[in-house]
Chains A and B, each alone.
Chain A
């Protein structure tokens, strides 16, 4: 990828050459200097992956887009074309908007807390010598725990009868009612989601820190005496690519991968509980049988997540460059 702007004529000719290359199968930068030149063999190798992608990715995705324009009979007797009604219904409903607002709030809080704590622990783990390996293992091991298991353990900690957090809250005179009170449930969701995500951020920040050359660290030690200054002026800028990359990953995590945690805590009882947009797609589609509405919400989310992924790829490129 080049950053130099192309003149119009150049851009034109590049477009043309690109199209020609695209058709003939060459790429601008050939992946390999030498390649096999057989017409059928590559298709044989590609076939399994392509089949899976077409059947299980493109077919359902196209179906999501089409059924978002239809109002489907809940009992399966045909569907009526309703144009953009499902979209306008979703975007103007108060339920959807409050869910969207909560999702945004949830994303900001979970991302900020898990990135912050992950970074703090990584900086400290990078510094200590005694016990470094033990700390590392302890901090990483939780990564492998599945979100629903995290949700289950979290649920026990917030249990109204015997949960330790409920007892601690009671000391401060707060009656913690997770699953009934909106903000109590929200806090539980946040604590569990952050707990689950810290190890991931820790791993990436630590490997980012450890790739900083020793000479840079030593120079920094001579130049800046205060650890905080060193952190702000040297470490943070060097970690920026990792941090941006993780930012996108964490937003995606909070939007999608927290589904099991919400499902375990909220348990299909949306009554007065907070939930994310993805959970609403599931509830409306599978519990509410509103297939058109659910599909429209899916398509809206597809747009959001596609944008996020494009961002992620831009940062991924940069991350590799800093290497």
Chain B
């Protein structure tokens, strides 16, 4: 085998430090008092103010209306991540099933109409999307937060590829046994796709949880704020002469990154599978 030099380990250690130290320092600094951070800089060791900072961020009411707590934002982010992942899987599995297993008029046209959505990310059509949402009275609703994001065909593409690799004999056998399309879908394809569904669920949960621009535009009512939206507002109040709440900002950042990072670390294998096989 190849020789392994100490240099290889050195490069890997430096890389890991570059990537992870900022995260560790954010975590540690969030347990110190704002005044200490202001005078001493960031910390790499834990402090003693952790409990009170996190209690304050999670439960104290802040914002302009005094209604929004960290806990509420955490819940909203969770709704956003889960709702997006589940919605995406349901919609795209159904659409992919129709495209792969049925012979019908305009199938090719529909295929291209759906896959053209991969061409334009949300960011290039934010202004008109916002106008459409306000015409539909969907601003400040969970529907408005989640459903428009489902319009991209990433999941459909992924499930289409997967269904194509399912052996044809399965459908033949099912038809001989007298199964109709709905029964075949629910009793054969869905159980068969379990691994794929979990892999795509992880990717989509992270994607939904991490959304920033869309919640920023869609929510003006603070009771719909997600953690990402909260980060924007905590930074907006950092003007004036008082010492910024560094510790609270870090605590908010930690709350916003712990769930997705935990998901990636715990389900690492499945995550890599989902990522490299779905190709974004």
Contact = CB atoms under 8 A, between A and B. Distances in A.
A and B held together in a complex: yes
- Which residue among A59, A167, A316 has the maximum number of chain B CB atoms within 10 Å of its CB? A59
B117 interface: yes
A136 B123 CA distance: 32
Interface in B18-33: 18-20, 22-23, 26, 29
B108 A149 contact: no
Nearest to A307: B119
Contacts of B153: 53
Contact of A316 (B42, B108, B279): B279
B128 A49 contact: no
Given A36-B103, A42-B98, A302-B120, A64 B128 contact: yes
B103 A148 contact: no
Interface in B227-279: 228, 231-232, 235-236, 246, 249-250, 252-253, 256-257, 260-261, 263-265, 268, 271-272, 275-276, 279
- Which residue among A26, A34, A135 has the maximum number of chain B CB atoms within 10 Å of its CB? A34
A306 B120 CA distance: 7
B196 interface: no
Interface residues of A, number: 105
Nearest to B160: A31
B95 interface: yes
B102 A36 contact: yes
A306 to B, nearest CB: 5
Contacts of A198: 15, 19
Contacts, number: 306
B20 A227 contact: no
A161 interface: yes
Contacts of B11: 120-121, 124
A2 to B, nearest CB: 18
Contacts of A143: 264
B105 interface: yes
A146 B128 contact: no
B206 A144 contact: yes
DSSP class of B's interface residues: helix, strand, loop or mixed?
helix
- Which residue among B26, B98, B129, B228 has the maximum number of chain A CB atoms within 10 Å of its CB? B98
B2 A25 contact: no
Contacts of B105: 23-25
B231 A203 contact: no
B181 interface: yes
8 contacts: A30-B103, A34-B171, A35-B101, A53-B113, A152-B252, A156-B249, A281-B127, A291-B127
Contact of B257 (A61, A144, A207): A144
Nearest to B152: A57
- Which residue among B8, B19, B120 has the maximum number of chain A CB atoms within 10 Å of its CB? B19
B53 interface: no
Interface string A268-299: 00000000001001100110000100110010
Interface stretch (A4-12, A93-101, A255-263): A255-263
Given A31-B164, A260-B213, 6 more contacts: A127-B8, A141-B23, A156-B42, A199-B19, A203-B275, A281-B126
A295 B127 contact: yes
A249 interface: yes
Interface of A: 21-27, 30-39, 41-43, 45-46, 48-50, 52-53, 55-57, 59-61, 63-64, 67, 117, 120-121, 124-125, 127-131, 135-149, 152-157, 161-164, 167, 195, 198-199, 203-204, 207, 221, 227, 245, 249, 252, 256, 259-260, 263-264, 267, 278, 281-282, 285-286, 291, 294-295, 298, 301-302, 305-306, 309, 316, 319
Given A22-B109, A149-B256, A260-B213, A221 B91 contact: no
B32 to A, nearest CB: 11
- Which residue among B94, B118, B119, B246 has the maximum number of chain A CB atoms within 10 Å of its CB? B119
B253 A57 contact: no
B86 interface: no
- Which residue among A128, A167, A204 has the maximum number of chain B CB atoms within 10 Å of its CB? A128
Interface in B153-177: 153, 156, 164, 168, 171-172, 175
- Which residue among B103, B126, B206 has the maximum number of chain A CB atoms within 10 Å of its CB? B103
A109 to B, nearest CB: 17
Contact of B42 (A39, A57, A157, A195): A157
Q: Which 7 A-B pairs have the closest CB atoms?
A: A146-B210, A144-B260, A49-B95, A42-B102, A45-B98, A63-B128, A60-B128
Contact of A139 (B16, B256, B279): B16
A183 B228 CA distance: 27
A238 to B, nearest CB: 16
B49 interface: no
A67 B185 CA distance: 43
A198 B18 CA distance: 10
- Which residue among A37, A56, A155, A319 has the maximum number of chain B CB atoms within 10 Å of its CB? A56
A61 B120 contact: yes
Nearest to A308: B119
B108 A252 contact: no
A36 B132 contact: no
A243 B222 CA distance: 43
B95 A46 contact: yes
- Which residue among B209, B212, B217 has the maximum number of chain A CB atoms within 10 Å of its CB? B212
Contacts of B279: 245, 316, 319
A309 B136 CA distance: 30
A60 B113 contact: no
A56 B265 contact: no
Contact of A294 (B12, B41, B127): B127
